[in-house]
Amino acid sequence: MRLIIVGDSFADNNRINKKSGYVTEEQLPFLWSEKLKDQLQPDQYYNFGTCATGSTVAIQHVRDMQVQSDDILIAILSVHDTDDPIFDNLGYQEEIHSLPAHSIVMHVEYDERLAHPYTLPLSLFDISWNEIRASYDEIKTRRWDKRVNHLSWVNHVNLTQSILSMLGSNNNIGYDDFEFKMITLDEAYHPDLYDTRTFIYD
């Protein structure tokens, strides 16, 4: 069995961002992707998660891998390279779920139109920002996330459990399965300011 992970900075197990640098050997075992690998014990493991990339890169990795029926595919679809993320990501999601592999799809921005038994019914974006004891307007002024995959360690654990639950055909997952409002803005982000209304991937 192969475990294949594709996506953006929510999946990248190598680089955090330009400011925070790279994932350390000490941090690596705490990542949801590594925890999932340890739980599933695949024969082969591929993580193509790459900061600052969008769904078109993710889906190309999926196509290149020519997935088989005994593969497990975890795909994160982002809003980074599209003007219509719901329409585009719905098409990518349908393609992924039509493959012979056991596939799980997660979205940076989830919408009810993306509902599927093997799609996480939550926005990774909301899980990330709701960890922070600050308003959206305050968070949006910060540029560089300190957290690996934009998540605190406790929510790496919770995301791993959610994926395992979906692999077991249980999609009854809610935001109350994650920890919220437990870190400060300065704990989550470097102090550099950036006036933006969009989520920062790089």
Supply the CATH number for residue 47's domain: 3.40.50
Instruction: Say what the pLDDT of residue 81 is.
Output: 87
Q: Is the pLDDT of residue 77 over 60?
A: yes
Residue 200 inside a domain? The answer is: no
List the domain range (segments joined by +) for residue 67.
Answer: 2-188
* Band of pLDDT at residue 38, cut at 50, 70 and 90: very high
Residue 37 inside a domain? The answer is: yes
- For the segment 80-110, what is each residue's pLDDT rounded down to a tens digit? 888 899 999 999 999 999 999 999 999 999 9
* Band of pLDDT at residue 202, cut at 50, 70 and 90: low
Q: Per-residue pLDDT averaged across 38-54, rounded?
A: 97
CB atoms < 10 A from the CB of 40, how many? Answer: 14
Instruction: Say what the pLDDT of residue 182 is.
Output: 96
Q: Is the pLDDT of residue 50 over 60?
A: yes
| Structural domains of the chain, count | 1
Rounded to whole angstroms, the Cα distance separating 3 from 43 reads: 8
Q: At 184, phi and psi to the nearest 5?
A: -85, 165
Q: Per-residue pLDDT averaged across 122-138, rounded?
A: 96
**Torsional sign, CA 132, 78, 58, 98:** positive
Residue 196 inside a domain? The answer is: no
Q: Per-residue pLDDT averaged across 150-174, rounded?
A: 98
Q: Per-residue pLDDT averaged across 132-158, rounded?
A: 95
